[in-house]
Amino acid sequence: MTTSETTFAATAAGLVTPVLHWYDEHARDLPWRRPDASAWSVLVSEFMLQQTPVARVLPIHDAWLRQWPTPAALAAEAAGEAVRAWGRLGYPRRALRLHAAAAAITDQHAGRVPSAYDDLRALPGVGDYTAAAVAAFAYGQRQVVLDTNVRRVLARAVAGVEFPARSVTRAERDLGATLLPEDPPTAATWSVAVMELGALVCTADRPRCDGCPVRRLCAWQAAGAPAYDGPPRPAQAYAGTDRQCRGRLLAVLRDAPGAVTRAHLETTWDEPVQRERALGSLVADGLVVATADGRYALP
Question: Active-site residue numbers?
Answer: 46
CB 188, CB 136: distance < 8 Å:
yes
d(CA 21, CA 33): 17
CB 186, CB 143: distance < 8 Å:
no
d(CA 103, CA 76): 8
Q: How many CB atoms lie within 10 A of CB 34?
A: 10
Dump the DSSP string for 229-277.
Answer: -SSPPPP---TTSHHHHHHHHHHHHHHSSS-B-HHHHHTT-S-HHHHHH
d(CA 146, CA 201): 17
d(CA 144, CA 151): 11
Sign, CA dihedral 111-114-119-123, equals positive
Strand partners, 296: 260, 290
